[in-house]
A = this chain, B = another copy of it.
Amino acid sequence: MKYNVQITVMPLKDLLDPQGKAVLVGLNNLGIHSVEDVRVGKHITLIVEAASAEEAKSVAETAAKQLLANQVMESFEISVN
């Protein structure tokens, strides 16, 4: 069966996020002042062929750890639909 797996990779909370800061400045320049903080990460959608949702999640976890997320600087979350 095919599973649609969503992986969100975000910079760790304690680290600076220069891209997020740039977006915040950009929003201020556009006149949007009610945004107080911005963090920018990646969203990855995988279509996984697996026998169960657990197996699909496990494949995605391996992919995230080995390729998609740098765990020194980023954390990731996985959800399976």
Contact = CB atoms under 8 A, between A and B. Distances in A.
B43 A43 contact: yes
Given A38-B45, A46-B37, A23 B59 contact: no
A72 interface: no
Q: Provide the main secondary structure of the chain A interface.
A: strand
Interface residues of A, number: 33
A48 B36 CA distance: 6
Contacts of A68: 23
Nearest to A26: B67
The 10 closest A-B pairs by CB, nearest first: A43-B43, A37-B47, A36-B47, A41-B43, A39-B45, A8-B43, A34-B49, A35-B46, A26-B67, A40-B44
